[in-house]
Structure 1
């Protein structure tokens, strides 16, 4: 009889420090417009979606004019990417112009099948054009006064260890998140993110890190809306599509506030939207995500 693998605990789950994550974003060229990267270990043996977003940004960003900034990302999660082998990224140069470039980042499996793709737009920045956004951060306690995931759930074995260990970024919910029980009903929540250490000045890496954090909790309000909990047995979130619009540069060395809301839940899928603000309250990005959500009823 074959032994079953043990469920990772908070002390044995694969940790990824910020330094580890930056190493995972250090892609190696293996052919023209082809890049190779390492996978992030994960208890479910599939690469965390945020890493796919981040690596897709870096791979594309290495092929555009350094004067251009990332404007938008539209991604499709097709199949789970395995964690036991290097990831191969292929870049399609869809268009190039002085002020705007378009790239497609494709992750291909061992059999040649497409596992993930993302179209990114890159553009020059004109300081003479006006800016406007009506979005304002939601009222929330200062992040310095809020507990992180380890403080809230470090000893709670009902929650998978992946969510109880130190991460590359600090994660602090403004209210009790819908992980097991006790969260108030609603359709939105606020989360704060900040890098755990200083970041490199590489603008592409910084844009990639923002993409990384936006795949963490955007759809959690679906559990609040349905009166369920993310980590009940049988509950699940599976990203299908992800969109990210960058409004201005940001620095994740400072706290970023992410105000999430679920805009619709239907046919087992949830659509979430989030506005991202930096520490000064500037509206730096907008996120949209469609995902498969399984929400067992609370007992």
Structure 2
């Protein structure tokens, strides 16, 4: 995948039955299905059963089994409730007879009310001042650790520009946070809000556990730590566009019991808070 159109081809599911949809997978450099893909495809399935114009405002999910890249994923949607203001859907994802993922999503009719948000950190560098993952691969490919290099070489429909770049050769613990600018490749115009939320959900599973890993960087890295998304929640606040860079600002309040917890806020460049994310992931040291 190299553009937003490629991504939409993956996220848009095929209807195969009553509230039942099939999806295919593309690797992002992992041997298993990318969690963000499953999240976004499940949201796509849930949205297909919303016929009253209500807008996704939150979702909560659990990853139960690693997804097989070679097998299709079937998403079954249960219509839990259509109330006066809110609609709730439950999505279960299967591969053959195995349930790999469950998600609950809530949709809300548009209403007027109070409005406030936290402020974005305006002291960090702008994307024009930073190197992208592609730039790093081109400039430092000869010295980047093999596993990281292999990950960066995968074509993606999103360009990432981290504000804080971790040097894998400096064995020192770092503050438990990270900020990453991101932007879609291709022409992401004329997308409706539901589609934009699905794409944003896909991207939200990138980078989030890095904040938890940073705190233990003197001994932990992606090569000696087994990682996997365990659960993922997201809240959607405001409409937005993908025509400029967006900022994913992430912090990790805790790691314990071979799990890392991280939460993040996604802002427009102008500082509008678009969404918030929370995830706990497996961070299991590999003892050779």
Aligned to 2:165: 176
Q: Distance in 2 between matches of 1:255 and 1:105?
A: 31
Q: Is 2:45 the counterpart of 1:59? A: yes
1:280 equivalent among 261, 265, 270: 270
For residue 38 of structure 1, report the CA deviation from its aligned partner.
1.3
2:242 equivalent among 249, 252, 271: 252
Aligned to 2:279: 289
2:120 equivalent among 136, 148, 170: 136
Q: TM-score, normalised by structure 2?
A: 0.90
1:214 equivalent among 204, 222, 225: 204
Aligned to 1:33: 19
Aligned to 1:10: none
Aligned to 1:9: none
1:192 equivalent among 181, 199, 206: 181
| Structure 1 residues 132 and 37: alpha-carbon distance in aligned structure 2, compared to 1, 3 A threshold | same
| Structure 1 residues 142 and 43: alpha-carbon distance in aligned structure 2, compared to 1, 3 A threshold | closer
| Structure 1 residues 96 and 231: alpha-carbon distance in aligned structure 2, compared to 1, 3 A threshold | same
Name the SS for the 1:226 alignment partner. coil
Deviations 1:122-152 (A, max 9, x none): 01111x3121113433521111221111211
Aligned to 1:115: 100
Deviations 1:169-225 (A, max 9, x none): 1101002136x2337711111111111122242322111011011100111012221
Q: Does the CA-based 8 Å contact 1:106-1:116 persist in structure 2?
A: yes
Gaps of 5+ in 2: none
Number of aligned residue pairs: 280
Q: Distance in 2 between matches of 1:138 and 1:265?
A: 28
Q: Does the CA-based 8 Å contact 1:17-1:166 persist in structure 2?
A: no
Aligned to 2:228: 238
Aligned to 1:24: 10
For residue 34 of structure 1, report the CA deviation from its aligned partner.
0.1
Per mean C-alpha deviation after superposition, the further-off stretch among 263-272 and 154-163 is 154-163
Gaps of 5+ in 1: 1-14
1:270 equivalent among 248, 257, 260: 260
For residue 16 of structure 1, report the CA deviation from its aligned partner.
4.7
Q: TM-score, normalised by structure 1?
A: 0.87
